[in-house]
């Protein structure tokens, strides 16, 4: 009878060898984990790439599943840096303080981002005002057809971000605003939730009557974007770095990095953060289509 013992031994040996190669990152380098905003994912990866030539022994790992995940990672202690496209919520700040023995989260502004309103490249409508955007996107809003804003007779198909996205939250605050009682307005029912910023662009490029919002750095040739005026009848400003910097584009927000406590300037995190705010990191910011801080 042929024994299977030698073959079992081989399998066991191979498994042990494979498993031992996992989890080996103790080659003396520093490891920093960064999590958070999907909007900031591309710039985060670009920072990671550029920083390799500044400090080659630092291993940065970047994830971008949504601003809320960044705060969650700070709370769970699975990341040292959180990217966020919105400000921290009170509840998140409390949880971070509780998880880190009273040390509070510290906010750093590392860039600015314009939110573009995307539509199908064939859409004849080229500009819109903030009050009209509110009527399109907010629950109870009265604009449901493109012909109400100068387009063809077709129902407006709204595609937004998922409920926990920082971009969702920012757009809600900036455009939807509050109702008469001071309560925040929710999005109109029938507004879809796309897979990340890229999903919004994909939807708008294939849907003639689509409309979506996303970071302006996600613009490409497959979609068009609307110029936005702050008031109806006002000058419509196109989303661009210059217009965000000179504060004429009405839908712009800061991009944040949050750390637990102020990082020691000599620590790995501290040096990385200083580089991000300095020339090196800010060059990357503008190369990625965002607006640098100065």
Partner 1 sequence: MAAGKTSAIKAVSSRALDRAEPLIRGVIYISGWSSILFVVAIFFFIFKEAAPILTKVDWGEFFFENRWIPNPAEGNEANYGAAGILYGTFAITVVSTMIAMPLGFAAAVYISEFATGKVKETLKVLIELLAAIPSIIWGFIGLVIMGPIIQKLFDVEVGVNLLNASLMVAFMAIPLIVSISEDALRAVPDSYREAALALGASKWEVVYKVLFPAAKNGLLAAAMLGVGRAVGETMAVWMASGGTENIPGNVLNPAILLERVKAMTATIASEMKDTAHGDEHYMMLFVIGIVLLFICVVINVISDLVIKGIKKKHS
Using CB under 8 A, list all residues that contact partner 1: 1, 65-66, 68-69, 71-72, 75-76, 92, 95, 154-155, 157, 159, 162-165, 168-169, 172-173, 176, 178, 182-186, 189-195, 202-203, 206-210
Which run of H or of E encompasses 19?
Answer: helix 5-20
Residue 108 or 173 having the CB closest to partner 1: 173
Shortest distance in whole angstroms from residue 185 CB to partner 1: 6
CB of residue 170 to partner 1, shortest distance in Å: 12
- Of 70 and 281, which CB lies nearer to partner 1 in the complex structure? 70
167 touches 214 (CB < 8 A): yes
Pick 6 or 182: Cβ nearer partner 1 = 182
From the CB of 273, what's the least distance to partner 1, in Å?
24
Distance CA 152, CA 160 (A): 21
CB nearer to partner 1: give 208 or 270: 208
Judged by beta carbon, residue 3 or residue 101, the one nearer partner 1 is: 3
Beta bridge partners of 155: 145
- Residue 85 or 243 having the CB closest to partner 1: 85
Q: Are 197 and 218 in contact (CB under 8 A)?
A: yes
Tell me if 217 sits within 8 A of 290, measured CB to CB: yes
Say if residues 192 and 203 touch (Cβ distance below 8 Å): yes
Helices 41-51 and 268-277: angle between axes, nearest 10 degrees:
110
SS3 content of the chain, % helix, strand, coil (to 5): 35, 25, 40
* Shortest spacing between CB 290 and partner 1, in angstroms: 22
Query: Residue 204, exposed/middle/buried by CB under 10 A (0-12, 13-18, 19+)?
Result: buried
- Specify burial of residue 127 (Cβ count, 10 A radius: 0-12, 13-18, 19+): middle
């Amino acid at each position: 009878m042929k024994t299977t013992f030698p073959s079992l031994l081989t399998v066991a040996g191979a498994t042990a060898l494979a498993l031992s190669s996992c989890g080996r990152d103790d080659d003396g380098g520093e490891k920093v984990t960064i999590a958070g905003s999907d909007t900031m994912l591309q710039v985060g990866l670009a920072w990671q790439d550029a920083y390799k030539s500044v400090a080659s022994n630092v291993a940065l790992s970047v994830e971008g599943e949504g601003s809320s995940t960044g705060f969650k990672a700070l709370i769970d202690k699975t990341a040292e840096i959180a990217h966020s496209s919105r400000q921290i919520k009170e509840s998140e700040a409390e949880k971070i303080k509780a998880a880190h023995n009273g040390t509070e989260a510290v906010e750093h502004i590392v860039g600015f981002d314009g939110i573009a309103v995307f539509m199908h490249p064939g859409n004849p409508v080229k500009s819109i005002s903030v009050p009209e955007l509110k009527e399109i996107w907010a629950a109870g809003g009265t604009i449901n057809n493109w012909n109400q804003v100068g387009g063809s007779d077709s129902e407006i198909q709204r595609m937004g971000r998922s409920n926990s996205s920082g971009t969702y939250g920012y757009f809600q605050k900036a455009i939807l605003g509050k109702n008469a009682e001071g309560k925040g307005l929710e999005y109109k029912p029938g507004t879809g939730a796309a897979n990340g910023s890229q999903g919004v662009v994909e939807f708008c490029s294939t849907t003639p009557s689509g409309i979506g919002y996303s970071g302006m750095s996600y613009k490409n040739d497959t979609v068009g974007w609307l110029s936005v005026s702050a008031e109806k009848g006002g000058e419509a400003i196109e989303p661009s770095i210059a217009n965000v910097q000179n504060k004429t584009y009405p839908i712009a927000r800061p991009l944040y990095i949050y750390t637990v406590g102020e990082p020691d300037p000599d620590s790995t995190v501290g040096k990385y953060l200083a580089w991000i705010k300095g020339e090196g990191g800010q060059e990357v910011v503008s190369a990625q289509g965002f607006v640098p801080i100065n």
